[in-house]
Chains A and B, each alone.
Chain A
Amino acid sequence: MDNDKDKDNVIKLEDKKKPKGNEQKLDVQSGTLGGKNGFGGRK
């Protein structure tokens, strides 16, 4: 019984040691080249 308890505790501690990160959603800006703004290039 005690061994089982110890086992549980070990797992819990390991979980704490390794922080789980968050899933970060990054929206990316789409780009348009051409038209009246010319065909790109640095401004």
Chain B
Amino acid sequence: MFASTQFYEASLNILKNGIKKMLITASSSEPSSYAEAVVSVLAQSTTITTTDMVLSGGTSGYTLTISSNADIIAATTLESTGIAKYICGLSTAGDAVLFYITTCTTKKLATGDTVTMPSWTITIVEPTSD
């Protein structure tokens, strides 16, 4: 079985080029839309650029690494108190696309807190037979 480099790159570049903001949300359930993610925001990143995400290929697939650098995390400010649960990758408000959701450490965030997140990844592995 085989998937081309173009396939992996195109799929992950949708995220790399499309995600402009990371939100930490406290939804009791996973957001299912851009609007739902925005409503339950606890903190959000500054604008993310393509340099904050690095695409790399290997023999078993491709990985997009989301950096922990200052552009993404250090400027994150707490907008509301609550229990952090989801990390949402969103487009600009104009496009209003919810690109990706994952979970994070479930932790209560209080007024004045700052948030740091180590780098994390999204990987597409090579296809295998069912």
- Residues of A at under 8 Å CB distance from B? 18-36, 39
With most chain B CB atoms within 10 A of its CB, the pick from A23, A28, A35, A36 is A28
The size of the chain B interface, using a CB distance under 8 A, is: 32
B18 to chain A, nearest CB (A): 15
Taking a contact as CB atoms under 8 Å apart, the answer to whether B116 and A25 are in contact is yes
**How far in angstroms is the closest Cβ of chain A from B56?**
13
Interface set of B (CB-CB < 8 Å, partner A): 24, 61, 66, 78, 84, 87, 100, 102-105, 107, 109-118, 120-128, 130
A to B contact number (C-beta, < 8 Å) = 86
Q: Is the CB of A32 within 8 A of B115?
A: no
